[in-house]
Chains A and B, each alone.
Chain A
Amino acid sequence: MTKTITDVICPFCGTLCDDVEVVVSDDGKKLLEVANACVIGTEKFLHSQSADRVTKPRLRQADGSWKDISYDEAADYTAKMLAGAKKPLMYGWSSTNCEAQSVGNEIAEIAKACCDNTAAVCHGTTLIAVQDIGLPTCTLGEVKNRADRVIFWGCNPAHAHPRHMSRYSIFPRGFFTGKGQMSRKLVVVDPRCTDTSKMADVHLQIEQGRDYELLNALRVALKGEWLPDSVAGIPAEKIREVADILKSGRFGIIFFGMGVTQSLSKNHNIDEAIALTKDLNEYTKYSIMPMRGHYNVTGSGEVFAWQFGFPYSVDLTRGFARYNPGDSSSIDLLTRGEVDAMFTIGSDPGAHFPISAVKGIAKVDSVCIDPHLTPTSGVSKLHVPVAFNGVECGGNCYRMDNVPIDCRKVVEPPEGMLTDEQFLVMVRDRLRKLKGAA
């Protein structure tokens, strides 16, 4: 006999689908089938079952080989490393739950660490822009129920957020959008002809890196002012046509992604996108939303903010919280060689940081807490495998629109394996003793 668990939350991307169904064996130890999830989510659930999984902490030896150690020894190593470091960096947090993040923050406070999440390489520049100019946004259900204009700017949900379009943004039939896709006009802005742009009513194949200019041109077009013949490779008449499409909607939404956050103008691109949204609210109703990547990067920002006051890039080394991206941000800390111990959890900077920053990790004492083998574990001194959050343990997570959803445990982790939170509690208690903290 098998059991079907419904309303399961998928711990992959910021779409945080919560309608997944999982079939498990009667004893709750084996995960057999996954329904409703996208191909990536399905793989995530199924891979947790692989036979070649690392189940014990491993410490790298002088000859480069791994030696299995116990969780107690791993917690000792981690606590000592943090206690001894002057400027430890505790990075990641986006693929774990808020409970673990909370314990992590206690550790960071005792260790006087720098703490950062994957917004560092994702929507960090969005946060800077929001701090400059604000953010008119909404929940994804608003998009489903009201939106008749949908803009994807520099993002490709067909690949990165596969169920976003069917659950929220393009296809669903909502309260005021009974005709589903027929109720909506879709505009995609991307330098490539992506699988998302292929569905669009209008695709603006923008010259790469010219987002600021095009956003600004749209604001000009809204006001009916003069435009040059072409901006960012898009003819003026096309820009005016799109401005009219945007203006004529009753409820519009701009989703944006790495195309604007990671190209040269960075936060200025997003400033301009938010300014466009604000301008559109003079005519009709508009919202804008970052397409957050990791399933709980948003939650990490929330927990940082209510505990320390800032959403990422937090420096506690002075005993109180400071925030100064460019100075206190992970990439800069690592490339400047300021970090003397690296603690990674729920993320893979080894794969997703520029190699010059990864070299900064490899040079120092380091711990990588991750169920997978990754480039980060490959350059770390200690690898601590843990249970898969959202599969083998529950815990709260925040969707890209900041809606919290409590993940479900659907299957038991391999015997003896700890969760992120359990391991962090061991580290915290040891660190308290070492530091004589209250």
Chain B
Amino acid sequence: MAKTISVNLISGRTIQQGVAIESGKEKPSYRTACGIIEMDKADLKALGAWKNTNVKVTSDYGSVVVKAVEATQGPHPGVAFIPMGPWANSIVNPNTYSTGMPTFKGTPVTVEVAIDEPVLLGIELVQKQCGVMVG
């Protein structure tokens, strides 16, 4: 059985995310920048995953496949980071609790290795979840 670990997910900007959205969200570079989860070394070890392994991240609100990478702005054990974008937004807590603002930071998630599952491109990921037919 594959190992599953629980972490606290936050999302936010990175400079690579900024460059990628300006160079085209239809491009693979967007996926490279944002279709990732930054995890602490200790958490990767607990998961039993190598760096750059595809993982499935699941919350109460959905799940998404992203590539697990080692934290670039760590250490932050117990906290995982997905740059803002459709990958993070597939699983964040959408509840606004009457403030209008979803709870983008602080969603409890589980992470499991999903070595054979692909990380989708940004637009593709959203279209697929919304059931948009693409010609």
Q: Are A158 and B79 in contact (CB under 8 A)?
A: no
Known: A208-B10, A263-B103. A332 touches B96 (CB 8 A): yes
> Does B22 lie within 8 Å of A44, measured CB to CB?
yes
Which chain A residues border B122 with CB–CB below 8 Å? 351, 375
How far apart are A132's CB and chain B's nearest CB, in angstroms?
12
CB 8 Å contact bits of A48-66 with B (1 = contact, 0 = none) = 0010000000001101111
Is B50 engaged at the interface, CB distance under 8 Å to the other chain?
Answer: no
A328 nearest in chain B by CB position:
B100
Of the candidate stretches B41-49, B82-90, B111-119, the one touching chain A is B82-90
Give the contact stretch, choosing among A85-93, A187-195, A422-430: A187-195
Given contacts A208-B105, A351-B126, contact A192 B100 (CB under 8 A): no
Q: Is A199 an interface residue (CB 8 A)?
A: no
Determine how close the nearest CB of chain B comes to the CB of A316; give it in whole angstroms.
17
Query: Are B105 and A12 touching (Cβ within 8 A)?
Result: no
Shortest beta-carbon distance from A116 to chain B in Å: 8
- A40-B22, A156-B12, A375-B123 given as contacts; is B92 within 8 A of A354 (CB)? yes
Determine the distance from Cα of A357 to Cα of B89 in the docked complex, in whole angstroms: 10
CB neighbours (8 Å) of B21 from chain A are: 348, 351
Q: A159-B13, A335-B94 are in contact. Are A355 and B104 (CB under 8 A)?
A: no
Tell me if B62 counts as interface (CB < 8 A to partner A).
Answer: yes
Whether A263 touches B24, Cβ cut-off 8 Å, given contacts A158-B15, A378-B127, is: no
Query: 1/0 per position for A23-56, CB-CB distance to B under 8 A?
Result: 0000000000000000110011001001000000
Identity of the chain A residue whose Cβ is nearest the Cβ of B12 in the assembled complex: A258
Given known A192-B73, A331-B96, contact A355–B101 (CB-CB < 8 A)? no
Given A358-B130, A372-B24, A331 and B101 touching (CB < 8 A)? yes
Interface size class on chain A is 35 or more
Secondary structure dominating the interface of B: loop
Contact yes or no, B126 A64, CB < 8 A: no
Q: Chain A contacts of B25 at CB under 8 A?
A: 348, 351, 372-375
Determine whether B51 belongs to the interface, using a CB cutoff of 8 Å to chain A.
no
For B13, give its contact among A43, A44, A160, A355 (CB under 8 Å): A160
Task: Evaluate contact between B130 and A359: CB separation under 8 angstroms.
Answer: yes
Write the nearest CB–CB distance from B86 to chain A, whole angstroms.
5
Stretch of A68-76, A118-126, A172-180, A244-252 at the chain-chain interface: A118-126
Contact with A along B107-135 (1 / 0, CB 8 A): 00000000000000011011101111111
A25 CA / B53 CA spacing, docked (Å): 45
Q: Which chain B residues in 16-45 approach chain A with CB under 8 Å?
A: 17-19, 21-26
A345 to B30, CA, bound (A): 21
Whole-angstrom distance between the alpha carbons of A160 and B94 in the complex? 23
Q: Which residue numbers of A lie inside 8 Å of B, CB to CB? A: 12-13, 39-40, 43-44, 47, 50, 60-61, 63-66, 120-121, 124-125, 128, 156, 158-160, 162, 191-195, 197, 205, 208-209, 258-259, 261-264, 266-267, 293, 313, 325-327, 329-332, 335, 348, 350-359, 361-362, 372-375, 377-379
The residues of B with any CB-CB pair to A shorter than 8 Å are: 8, 10, 12-15, 17-19, 21-26, 61-62, 71, 73-76, 79, 81, 84-86, 89-90, 92-94, 96-106, 122-123, 125-127, 129-135
A-B contact pairs, 7 of them (CB 8 A): A64-B133, A263-B103, A267-B99, A293-B13, A359-B129, A372-B25, A373-B25
